[in-house]
Amino acid sequence: MTLSDLEKTYDRASAAPKDVDRVSLDIRSGEFLTMLGPSGSGKTTTLMMIAGFETPTAGDIAIDGKSVVAMPPYRRNIGMVFQNYALFPHLTVEENVGFPLKQRGVPKPERARLVAEALELVHLPGYGARYPRQLSGGQQQRVAVARAVVFKPRLLLMDEPLGALDKQLRENLQLEMRRLHADLGITFIYVTHDQEEALTMSDRIAVMNDGKVAQVGTPEDLYDRPENRFVAGFIGESNFLPAVVRGVENDVVIAECDGAVIRALCPGRPASGEKVTLTTRPERLRFADSAWIGEQMPQNCLSVTVTEAVFAGERCRYMLQAGDGTSIVLKEPSSAAIRRRAVGERAEIAWSVADTILV
Ligand code: ADP
Ligand code: MG
């Protein structure tokens, strides 16, 4: 499926920014794609346009090369699961799951077979006669999933389907959704504002911000090579170091940061003298005098003062301050053999060029 310059402006009279702004995405057949972004970034609106419940202001949606913009929702052959279950309270589980089949005129015996198959798929065989209120939140959401896949759609859209569930249940259902994706072999487009959920579940993630796609890539791409400050800050934790460009060598930019020379990866070619921001992850930094497991000492070094030291069980978390006042977080795996740093202590930190990105 392809989204091309997809736009939506709910209030065309106002000068407010577009609610969905030139979203272009190539979604591969059979992939698990997650749209991740803060509240109000346009995720639901994009899903609603794909499903056919909202009309784009501009742009196109094509499935198998054919535009579906003019097609009514039921003819698009897309399943959808909402955050709030949206089950019919006065219908039994069986009737809820069978509803899309009834709408499509599937005869009764065939309907019963498909409903049983769908309930089996979500591990709820034997629950057909119950009403939604007789089920837990997690079970209701499984019924909603069964209803969304019972007519064998080519695409399943899910809008924060686990948002209302507690953490443990959410983690179990995350695994079930992955399994379901593997079983069905169809394309999933999954919406969440939870970056950890997105990282664990997805083949690829499209990060949304202010109605636009900030970056698309695999979880590793986004975590290791964020293309902009928004993505670096939204996915995982990041340090941001102000620096001035001094030169470029191949794909490596050489920058000056608090008087030190820092090398960073950079797809573009920033000009000498340009003020930039470098980003690096807390767990990729080490104290320079600690033991290095690895064949080479990383090239980037900076002098800092420890301003806060927290022992958090599996790791120690340090707040550091560079000479120019920049705050830096360093996370170190804990070991009884590693000396803890004290607040006020001066230290050198070091990290790899590969873990330093210009954003
Ligand atoms: P998300 O799902 O990422 O939280 P939404 O797609 O719901 O974001 O919202 C994107 C923007 O569109 C927001 O600014 C929101 O206020 C606006 N919006 C969403 N639905 C409507 C609607 N039905 N009418 C008017 N504005 C809407
Ligand atoms: Mg939403």
- Torsions phi, psi for 330 (to 5 deg): -125, 130
3-class DSSP state of 58: strand
Complete DSSP assignment for 229-241: HHHHHHSS--EEE
Amino acid at 282: P
Q: Which residues pair with 16 in a beta bridge?
A: none
DSSP annotation of 227: S
Q: Round to whole Å and give the CA distance between 313 and 333.
A: 9
Q: Which amino acid is at 340?
A: R
CA angle 190, 61, 9 (to 5 degrees): 85
CA 308 to CA 175: how far, in whole Å?
Answer: 37
Measuring from each residue's beta carbon to the nearest atom of ligand 1, which residues come in under 6 Å? 10, 19, 37, 39-45
CA of 50 to the centre of ligand 2 (A): 14
Q: What ranges do the domains of the chain cover?
A: 2-233, 238-358
**Tens digit of pLDDT per residue, the chain (359 long)?**
999 999 999 987 878 889 999 999 999 999 999 999 999 999 999 999 999 999 999 999 999 999 999 999 989 999 999 887 689 999 999 999 999 999 999 999 999 999 999 999 999 999 999 999 999 989 999 999 999 999 999 999 999 999 888 888 899 899 999 999 999 999 999 999 999 999 999 999 999 999 999 999 999 999 999 999 999 999 999 999 999 999 998 889 999 999 999 999 987 889 999 999 999 999 999 998 876 656 566 789 999 999 999 999 999 999 999 999 999 999 999 888 888 999 999 999 999 999 999 99
> Which residues are CB-contacts of 237 (< 8 A; sequence separation ≥ 6)?
281, 282, 329
Ligand 2 centre and the CA of 39: distance in Å? 6
- Which atom of ligand 1 is least distant from the CA of 35? 3
Q: 2-233: which CATH topology?
A: Rossmann fold (3.40.50)
Pocket test for ligand 1, best of 36, 45, 209 (most atoms within 8 A of CB): 45
pTM exceeds 0.85: yes
The architecture of the domain spanning 238-358 is: Beta Barrel (2.40)
Core vs surface per residue 324-335: b (16+ CB within 10 A) or e: eebebbbbbeee
* Cα distance between residue 191 and residue 330, in whole Å: 31
